[in-house]
Amino acid sequence: MAARKLAIIGGRVIDPVQGIDRVVDVLISNGKITGVASSSSDNAYDDYEVIDASGKIVSPGFVDLHTHLRDPGQEWKETIVSGTRAAAHGGFTTVCAMPNTDPVQDSAAVVEDVMRRAAADGVVRVLPIGAISVGQHGKQLAPMGELAEAGVIGFSDDGNPVADANLMRQALKYSVELGLPIINHAEDKKIGAGGVMSAGLVATRLGLAGVPAEAETAMVARDLHLADLTKARLHIPHISTIGSLVALRSAKECGVNVTAEVTPHHLTLNDEWVFGLKGEIPAQVGSEAYDTNTKVNPPLRSRADVEAVIEALSEGLIDIIATDHAPHAATDKVCTYDEAAHGINVLETAFASVFGLVDASKISIERLIESLTAGPAAILGRDLGSLKKGFSGDVAIIDPGSKWVVDPNEFASKSVNTPLRGVELTGRVVTTIYQGETVFDLRGAIGTFSEGVKAGAGQ
Ligand SMILES: [Zn+2]
């Protein structure tokens, strides 16, 4: 096979690592970036395949630190194949796979199996996250050294917070030796006991049990103190409350080695979305009083929390955006709010939903792209998230003017659990290139996934 040479020409290239924000051509050869060249009609790319990106934004491929691929064990919700295709549709060329699979990624054997199958069948890069504790039961540390050797990029019991503070302390201590972060789902389950959404007026009106913000904030504060004690690297997933931000700021000021992520839904949706009216408040609560697709952990928060996380992301207090892509089948969502599973299907709407904040002048496009590329790559410590010479040829091409309506039945994901069904978004990833190969193209619908019936088809 002839080596593919690709020239992406005429687009507005935004690469925060190199400080580039101007119209240049991006050149890729043998799967690697070979450089950027001033864009001009005199450029001759005779032996190149040329992609005309005029009017588009050209970004390094997005890196997601928090993805649930459900594989092995829940392949009716998502597989490595469908999940990586969903990633490609969303502009992501790297996803970090959370270990709450069945079996749990708590041994080298399971991690190596995921890596082997991802390399063979995935359309983008999959980096596994290892469990903190055996079976994610929070009783006994997983073989962290063995997992690190197998190639995990960090440790998490995501979904299950490490409740035992001393076990958390030990995990942090071992992680220092291994040079990898601990990612603890920050929730004190006892404070939040029985709650299914954020405590507040909406919960009261719907008669649903509420989780106070302090369930998150208390755990964030504990973890920050333990990270300080052990001098370990802590990464806080899906941060969502004002109180957590106060704790994060003071820890950062004290030099604690901590980073934090926020999800697209915590940046754009508040608890009023639970009513199922896309943020509108009903005059009266009827029999279809809520949308179970809004049930997520941590829960959608108050308007004030949403404004606070936006500001924190914009100024860099929150380091990055991560999706917490959590596909679920219809049976997990067509039920009462109490019974519904936690989680939102995010990969394919992530960029566009947050791009609305750029349109509203709440965050700059440069910062948004940084938080999806250079930011997560820095936490991983890998040569990703930039269009630097020699880096992997991973690119997302975005049409900033494109308006589209979210139709989950068009998702490459096997599941359709999004509260954004029917919502119009502006800005869309139109082409995704991974290692120099086009893995998604909206026009040709390359990468469109059609493996039988979607897990949650028909709402
Ligand atoms: Zn979580």
Instruction: Write the pLDDT tens digit of every residue in 204-215.
Output: 999 999 999 999
- End-to-end Cα, the chain, rounded Å: 44
Task: Please state the rounded mean pLDDT for residues 324-347.
Answer: 97
Task: Please state the rounded mean pLDDT for residues 164-191.
Answer: 97
Report residue 332's pLDDT band, with 50, 70 and 90 as the boundaries. very high
Q: Is residue 168 part of a domain?
A: yes
Q: What percent of the chain has pLDDT over 90?
A: 92
> Residue 221 is part of which domain span?
62-380
Q: Is residue 123 part of a domain?
A: yes
Q: Is residue 443 part of a domain?
A: no
**What was the pLDDT predicted at 40?**
81
**What was the pLDDT predicted at 446?**
47
**What was the pLDDT predicted at 3?**
63
Report residue 445's pLDDT band, with 50, 70 and 90 as the boundaries. low
Q: Is residue 151 part of a domain?
A: yes
Q: Is residue 447 part of a domain?
A: no
Task: Please state the rounded mean pLDDT for residues 107-123.
Answer: 98
Calculate how far, in angstroms, residue 217's C-alpha sits from the geometric centre of ligand 1: 14
**What was the pLDDT predicted at 444?**
64
Please, what is the average pLDDT of the chain? 94
Report residue 458's pLDDT band, with 50, 70 and 90 as the boundaries. very low
Q: Is residue 5 part of a domain?
A: no
Task: Please state the rounded mean pLDDT for residues 450-455.
Answer: 42
Calculate how far, in angstroms, residue 157's C-alpha sits from the geometric centre of ligand 1: 8
Counting the structural domains of the chain, the total is: 1
Give residue-wise pLDDT tens across range 193-242.
889 999 999 999 999 999 999 999 999 999 999 999 999 999 999 999 99
Residue 361's contacts (CB-CB under 8 Å, 6 or more residues apart) are none
Calculate how far, in angstroms, residue 98's C-alpha sits from the geometric centre of ligand 1: 9
Task: Please state the rounded mean pLDDT for residues 270-279.
Answer: 96
Q: Is residue 52 part of a domain?
A: no
Report residue 329's pLDDT band, with 50, 70 and 90 as the boundaries. very high
Does residue 159 or residue 68 have the better pLDDT? 68
Q: What percent of the chain has pLDDT over 70?
A: 96
Q: Is residue 435 part of a domain?
A: no
Tokens of 95: 């996803």
**What was the pLDDT predicted at 71?**
96
Task: Look at residue 162 and tell me whether its pLDDT is greater than 60.
Answer: yes
**What was the pLDDT predicted at 286?**
81
Calculate how far, in angstroms, residue 426's C-alpha sits from the geometric centre of ligand 1: 28
Calculate how far, in angstroms, residue 297's C-alpha sits from the geometric centre of ligand 1: 6
User: Could you tell me the pTM of the whole model?
Assistant: 0.95
CATH number at residue 191: 3.20.20.140
Catalytic sites, residue numbers: 324
Task: Look at residue 20 and tell me whether its pLDDT is greater than 70.
Answer: yes
